[in-house]
Structure 1
Amino acid sequence: MQEQLTIIGGGNLGKSIISGLVSSDIFNTSDITVVDKSFYNLSYVKDNLGVNISQDIITAIENVKWVILCVQPRQLEGVLNEIKDKVTKDQVFISTVTGTSIEEINQLLPDNKVIRVMPNTGAAKKLSMTCISAGKDVKEELAIVEEIFKTIGETLVIEERLMQAATVLGASGIAFFLRFLRAMIQGGIQMGFHPHEAQIIAVQTAIGAATLVAENGTHPEREIDKVTTPQGCTIEGLNEMEHQGLSSSVIKGVMASYEKINTIK
């Protein structure tokens, strides 16, 4: 059992993290506090997840070892300025804030260890892909942060220089896959399925495709080869998609998102 933890921000991501934690034995629910200005958010986590709640950020971080920052980028500086004079050097800050480096947080909290994490909205179903990066001398803390975020899905420790790319591939990537899924559903409707039937087929097929790659550890092309037959309908469809620029469009979209995120502050 670890020390107490406070989550600053009880929005969708905060709720997902709490849900993962209360289903594990890393912390007791009595050792978890959520601080938020929204009474609705606080009521939800209190009633449904059984953790402590507070609207007083200063009280909520007192005598707490772990602090997870789950706020919007535009809110972060205000939050850090509000707490910086009350923070003790043994407190560890875990930031989910997009586009804010460890160095930038340490400018306001110079004596604290900071670890960056980038989950995605799959966290709501405990299927997040969370990328984690940290500075030097945080080996023990990093291991605990991995434990925390494994309660909501898979984790991968990466270099901090790749965190923007991880945001695009892992977080924005949810939207990219969903847009492709929508197109598959639309194709199914055009072929004659009712919308709900097309969605059931397309969604389960997407789950199956991802699971094959994840569990077999194979490259996607290996799994594609198992489906395509000479002069068959699958290769016909794949080639037409490539002629229309499928792979090129996806790569260009990913890179456009990456270029954009590097300009956001």
Structure 2
Amino acid sequence: MKVTIIGAGNMGGSIARGLSKSKLFADDNIVVSDPNEGILENLGSVCPNLITTRNNQEAASGAEIVILAVKPWLVQTVLRELKLKSKQILVSIASGITFEQLSHDLIEPEMPMFRVIPNTAISELESMTLIASRNVSPEMEALIVNVFSEMGIAMVIPEDKLEAATALSSCGIAYVFKYIQAAMQAGIEMGLRPDDAMTMIAQSAKGAAALILNNDTHPSIEIDKVTTPGGITIKGINELEHAGFASAIIKAMKASR
């Protein structure tokens, strides 16, 4: 099976690297197209066996799955140039571009379509990927879920829930990075080396995520386990609450819709 990625920027490139690391596609069945030769060369240095081209139509020709990973304002132009067929599956990564908008720019507007919102951790096979579908069979949906499950966790949701879910998963990863950055700054102020502080915080975040994902638990339960009476952790937790930490996170998520 051939998969084509149109656009090799931050997200398209991350997906290409993730697919290359997964077991579903041979590298010579992954085609990446981008007008920027430098971007393609950088991708090729990391994934030398991928096929790259600057010709979008050539890249999409014969591909069973076409992943559109261009900026939203380029979707119309690129889709009209691709001239996709109904036997192909379109996967749009463009945030905010609805199925209805996509259909207006297709030769065959009733072709199978997916809207997929991953996050940049897809390059490390650790994405939280959101999937909505239109005009697809159960087999097609299972295929796309399987593809993106190889690169993290994939979840099928209705299209009208994508905006809210994007705030939590796609935008949300930036808020996790912001926490890591702030915690690093605290560690440095307390005398730790920057690289050491970053490793400590990143591994702690990874461990916290693993506890949630791998067990029948809840954040409140895990917090209780480390906040002993009179201990140092509860003092820090209370400082976060006094500073409006939870409220700030909620406001940030709602602002990202």
Maintained 8 Å contact 1:7/1:33: yes
1:234 maps to: 233
Instruction: Show the 5 A alignment for 1:220-259.
Output: 220-258=219-257
CA deviation vs aligned residue, 1:221-255 (integer Å, no higher than 9, x gap): 10001101112221121112112211111111111
Maintained 8 Å contact 2:16/2:123: no
Instruction: Show the 5 A alignment for 1:16-165.
Output: 16-47=14-45, 48-83=47-82, 86-109=83-106, 110-165=109-164
Q: Gaps spanning 5+ residues in structure 2: where?
A: none
TM-score by length of 1: 0.89
**Aligned pair in 2 of structure 1 residues 159, 56: CA closer, same or farther (>3 Å)?**
same
- SS in structure 2 of the partner of residue 71 of structure 1: coil
CA distance in 2, matches of 1:32, 1:139: 24
Q: Gaps spanning 5+ residues in structure 1: where?
A: 259-265
State the shift of 1:46 in Å.
4.1
CA distance in 2, matches of 1:122, 1:24: 14
- SS in structure 1 of the partner of residue 32 of structure 2: strand
TM-score by length of 2: 0.92
- SS in structure 1 of the partner of residue 171 of structure 2: helix
CA deviation vs aligned residue, 1:38-91 (integer Å, no higher than 9, x gap): 1123234445241222222222222222110011111111101222xx322211
Maintained 8 Å contact 1:189/1:195: yes
What root-mean-square deviation, in Å, do the aligned CA atoms of Structure 1 and Structure 2 show? 1.7
1:262 maps to: none
Instruction: Show the 5 A alignment for 1:192-211.
Output: 192-211=191-210
Q: Is 114-123 or 26-35 further displaced after alignment?
A: 26-35
Maintained 8 Å contact 1:130/1:154: yes
CA deviation vs aligned residue, 1:132-155 (integer Å, no higher than 9, x gap): 111254321111111211222111
CA distance in 1, matches of 2:184, 2:44: 38
Maintained 8 Å contact 2:18/2:124: no
CA distance in 1, matches of 2:239, 2:110: 57
Letter in 2 for 1:163: L
CA deviation vs aligned residue, 1:146-182 (integer Å, no higher than 9, x gap): 1211222111111111111122111111111111122
1:11 maps to: 9
CA distance in 1, matches of 2:217, 2:251: 24
Maintained 8 Å contact 2:113/2:136: no
CA deviation vs aligned residue, 1:183-229 (integer Å, no higher than 9, x gap): 21222223332333322322222222222112123111100011011
Identity %: 38
Maintained 8 Å contact 2:113/2:133: yes
Q: Is 103-112 or 223-232 further displaced after alignment?
A: 103-112
Letter in 2 for 1:250: I
2:212 maps to: 213
CA distance in 1, matches of 2:132, 2:235: 43
CA distance in 2, matches of 1:202, 1:249: 20
Maintained 8 Å contact 2:110/2:135: no
